[in-house]
Amino acid sequence: MQSIPKLDLSHFTQGSLEQKKSFVAELGQAYEQIGFVAIRNHGIPQQVLTDLYREVKNFFELPESVKMLYDDSAGGGQRGYTGFGREHAKNRNAGDLKEFWHFGQYTEGADEDVPNYPANKQVSELPDFNRAGEAIYKALEGTGIQMLRAIALHLGLDEFYFDNKVKYGNSILRAIHYPPILEDPKDAIRAGEHEDINLITLLVGASADGLEVLNKNGDWIGVTEVEDHIVVNVGDMLQRLTNDQLKSTTHRVVNPPREQWGTPRYSIPFFLHPRPEVRLDCLPQCITENNPKKYEDCSAMEFLIERLREIGLIK
pLDDT tens track for 155-165: 999 999 999 99
The answer to whether the beta carbons of residues 123 and 66 sit under 8 Å apart is: no
**Nearest CA-CA partner of 42 in 232, 296, 244:** 232
Residue 78: per-residue pLDDT: 87
3-state secondary structure 160-190: CCCHHHHCCCCCEEEEEEECCCCCCCCCCCC
Residue 260: per-residue pLDDT: 67
Tally the residues of the chain: 315
**pLDDT above 50: residue 235:** yes
Q: In which element (H, E) is residue 149 found?
A: helix 127-154
Over range 105-113, report the average pLDDT. 85
Give 86's contacts (C-beta < 8 A, 6+ positions apart): 73, 77, 95, 312, 313
Q: In the chain, what percentage of residues exceed pLDDT 90?
A: 55
**Strands 6-8 and 220-222, sheet pairing:** unpaired
Percent helix, strand and coil across the chain, each to the nearest 5: 30, 20, 50
Q: In the chain, what percentage of residues exceed pLDDT 70?
A: 86
Q: Name the amino acid, one letter, at 261.
A: W
Q: What is the DSSP string of 9-66?
A: THHHHTS-HHHHHHHHHHHHHHHHHTSEEEEES----HHHHHHHHHHHHHHHTS-HHH
pTM of the model: 0.88
pLDDT tens track for 7-32: 999 999 999 999 999 999 999 999 99
- In angstroms and rounded to an integer, the radius of gyration of the C-alpha atoms of the chain is 19
Dihedral sign, CA of 259, 97, 187, 37?
negative
pLDDT tens track for 48-107: 888 998 999 999 999 999 999 999 887 778 899 998 765 544 544 445 678 899 999 999
Dist CA 72 CA 83 (whole Å): 9
Please state, rounded to an integer, the average pLDDT across all residues of the chain.
Answer: 86
Strands (E), the chain: 6-8, 36-40, 80-82, 99-103, 172-178, 191-194, 200-206, 211-214, 220-222, 230-234, 251-253, 265-272
**Nearest CA-CA partner of 230 in 144, 115, 150, 112:** 144
| Domain range 6-310, CATH class | mainly beta
Long-range contacts (CB closer than 8 Å, 24 or more residues apart) made by 56-61: 56/101, 56/129, 56/132, 56/175, 56/177, 56/266, 56/268, 57/266, 58/126, 58/129, 59/101, 59/123, 59/126, 59/129, 59/175, 60/99, 60/177, 60/179, 60/266
The answer to whether the beta carbons of residues 190 and 254 sit under 8 Å apart is: yes
Cα 303-189-77 angle, rounded to 5 deg: 40
- Using CA atoms, how far residue 270 sits from 11, 22, 205, in Å, is 22, 26, 11
